Every structure is written in C-alpha cells, then in structure tokens.
C-alpha cells in the first residue's frame, strides 16, 4: 500500500487556472528521462533542475519583481541584507574597493567593515549629497558604488542622476537600495543605475511577516555574474514565502500610496510642533534633498524621521516613544501597523548631522486622525 501511495498513477487534468499562482514545493525535481536530466542546466534556466534553483512559483515571482523594478533579470534571496551581500560577492574580488554613502543602511556598512574587509575588499564612505565627494572618492580600485535614496534614518534624498553620471564617466558599476521606492516612486534603471535591490520584506510583503530580498538588472552580463554567485551560495526562498509575496503584490500600489498620503499629512503636522526641530521627509519642502526627490520621484513611502529638540534628554524621548499606543516599537517598516524607533546619531555616524535624538516613524494603514491623536498624547509625556 505504501508503494502505491508514493507511486500513484493519477495525474490531475491540465487546464486548471485561478487568480493565485500555484504553490510548488520541491527540493527534488523529477525528470522524465536521463536525457532530460542531462539537457537541463540550472545556469541557463532552461527548465527545472533542483528546488533551490527555482520552481514555477519562484520563477513567477522573479518575473513580476523584475517588471515592478523595470528590469529584465531577477533573483530572489532570503532577505534584503542577503541581496546586498549577493551583489557585493558577485561583483567584487580581493583588491577591489567598494564605496558607500555615509548615511548607508547600518548592516550594509558593517558587512563592508567586517566580511568584505576580511576578504581583502576595501571600502570608503562618500557624502551622497555632494557628487564632488563621490568623484573624489573613486579610485583605480573602485569597482562598485552603492546608492541609497533616501539615506537610512536621516532620509536625505540625493541627486541620483548626478551621482550616476560620476560613476558612468569613470566606468564604475552602480547598485541602488530601492527598498524605500519599492519600484513605485521611481525607476532606478531609467536613471542609469546598473543593479537594483530591494528588501521585499517591506512594501511588497506588506504584512510584516515575510523576509525576502531581490536583485534586478537589465544587463545580461551582470545578470549572469549575479545568477552564478547566487547558485553557488545556495540562496533560496521558501515556496510559502513566495506564495505570500505573490498574494500581496496586487495591493502593493494601493498600500504604498495610502502610506504616502498618511505619511505626508503626519510629517506636515509634526513640522508644526515645537518639540521637533526638523522633520526629515523627502516630499516635505525644506527637507534635505527635497528638490532632488521632486525631480526624480512620483511618490514617497510612508516613512519619515523627526529631530527632537536638544533640550529633551534621551530618557524623555524614550518616555515619548513608550507612551505611544498605536505605534509599535520595532525595526523594519511598511506593514499595516505603524512603527517607531528612536536613534542616537552619535552612535551611528562619524559626523552626526543633527543635535538631539532622531525618531523614525513608519506609517501603516491606521486612520490618520487616530495616529495624530496618539502622537499628541505622547508628546505630553515628552514634556513631563
């Protein structure tokens, strides 16, 4: 009976279709014969060879993410940070140099300082708000420049076309962390960027419950290098995670734009509060890089930071954050629940841009009036 259950002859009829993509779970992939096994090559995606290298579910998600970003080649990895690591490992070797913006995502900087350095790959930081700083930093060994738009936590929006032009003139490959833009605010490839990664964990997932990243390019040679490294590293994503991502993608634009509208309204309200000396939101007039955002973007994520007046101690800022009732205290963003995290820039940056604690808000899908009331009541705890 066991043998009959394993080798049952029934096959469901062809022609079934439904709005949601089928979920294919596999480590082993079966071949009809030895000739088919020998003919398939995971390096060229001429069919299915092993679950790690793709199933109909993951291939479908890769194609949709490539379309979202405006690219042609995509690979999936287990997280956004894994996507950054994949690009670094695929495109750099011992003796090469990597350039990072000085407001880079913290784990990306630590990856460069630790693992990349241990492999003989050096790095430098440049000021993303000054293309001349990037030009001065590029040397003969520079092979990859990372771009972020906007910068992590402090939300400066750089002049991406100017930065890309500097790299193009010197023949240096560019890679963009487009997690904030989510493929909706702007198209990195239209600005001349070579490789675009995204933490799908954020807006594409939208639920705060799936970890995944993507790397996309339009360049066939770069795609081949990235794909080969991806396969050799054994990166893969689970079928159920791919299913969850595919289910969320159709509502991505609706959720992103809802968070954008709410985020702008709350950022403008925070700008009227005396407790905050700056509101850091690229779409807000006067924010760092606002004009660059305006010229390159058609939308903005529901993410912004405030600089709390220096007269308030870090303990008072912590009381303010603790007093918030609708904002969860936690990392990441872009889920249905609004989130908040306080940051001490002195511990994050060699040259902190602001005095006072920075508090970052990720706006979810709650009613704006309720979030505003929550912020107002918590500000009383800040002053208390």
Q: How high is the pLDDT of residue 259? A: 98
Q: pLDDT tens digits for 151-161? A: 999 999 999 99
* Residue matched to tokens 């990306």: 108
Residues 6+ apart with CB under 8 A from 384: 319
Sign for the pseudo-dihedral over CA of 362, 364, 368, 374? negative
Strand duo 213-217 + 276-280: pairing: unpaired
Q: How high is the pLDDT of residue 350? A: 66
Q: How high is the pLDDT of residue 382? A: 82
Q: How high is the pLDDT of residue 252? A: 97
Specify the DSSP class assigned to residue 50. B
Q: How high is the pLDDT of residue 236? A: 94
Q: pLDDT tens digits for 118-140? A: 999 999 999 999 999 999 999 99
What SS3 class is residue 26?
Answer: coil
* Under 8 Å between Cβ of 187 and 70: yes
For the chain (length 384 residues), average pLDDT per consecutive 10? 85 88 93 94 87 94 97 98 98 98 95 98 97 98 98 97 98 98 98 98 96 98 97 95 97 98 98 97 97 97 97 94 97 96 82 84 98 97 78
d(CA 296, CA 193): 13
* Under 8 Å between Cβ of 293 and 156: no
Q: How high is the pLDDT of residue 3? A: 87
d(CA 38, CA 102): 49
CA diameter of the chain:
77
């Amino acid at each position: 009976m066991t043998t009959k259950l394993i080798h049952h002859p029934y096959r469901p009829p062809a022609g079934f279709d439904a709005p949601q993509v089928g979920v294919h779970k596999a480590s082993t992939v079966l071949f009809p014969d030895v000739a088919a096994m020998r003919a398939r090559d995971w390096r060229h995606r001429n069919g299915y060879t092993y679950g790690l290298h793709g199933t109909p579910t993951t291939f479908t998600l890769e194609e949709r993410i490539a379309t979202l970003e405006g690219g042609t080649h995509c690979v999936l990895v287990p997280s956004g940070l894994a996507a950054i690591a994949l690009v670094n490992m695929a495109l750099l070797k011992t003796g090469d140099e990597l350039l990072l913006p000085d407001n880079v995502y913290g784990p990306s900087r630590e990856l460069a300082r630790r693992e990349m350095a241990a492999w003989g790959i050096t790095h430098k930081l440049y000021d993303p708000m000054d293309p001349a700083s990037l030009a001065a930093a590029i040397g003969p060994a520079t092979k990859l420049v990372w771009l972020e738009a906007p910068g992590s936590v402090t939300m400066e929006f750089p002049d991406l076309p100017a930065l890309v032009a500097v790299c193009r003139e010197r023949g240096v490959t560019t890679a963009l962390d487009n997690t904030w833009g989510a493929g909706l605010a702007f198209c990195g490839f239209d600005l001349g960027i070579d490789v675009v990664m995204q933490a799908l964990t954020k807006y594409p997932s939208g639920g705060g419950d799936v970890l995944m990243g993507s790397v996309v390019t339009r360049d066939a040679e770069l795609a081949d290098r990235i794909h080969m490294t991806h396969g050799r590293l054994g990166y893969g994503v689970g079928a159920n995670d791919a299913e969850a991502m595919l289910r969320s993608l159709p509502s991505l634009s609706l959720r992103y734009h809802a968070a954008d509208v709410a985020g702008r309204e709350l950022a403008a309200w925070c700008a009227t509060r005396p407790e905050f000396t700056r509101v850091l939101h690229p779409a807000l007039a006067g924010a760092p890089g606002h004009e660059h955002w305006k010229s390159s973007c058609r939308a903005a994520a529901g993410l912004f930071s405030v600089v709390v007046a220096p007269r308030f101690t870090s303990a008072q800022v912590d009381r303010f954050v603790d007093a918030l009732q609708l904002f969860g205290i936690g990392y990441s963003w872009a889920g249905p629940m609004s989130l908040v995290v306080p940051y001490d820039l002195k511990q994050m940056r060699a040259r902190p841009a602001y005095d006072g604690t920075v508090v970052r808000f990720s706006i979810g899908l709650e009613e704006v009036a309720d979030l505003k009331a929550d912020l107002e009541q918590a500000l009383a705890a800040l002053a208390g």
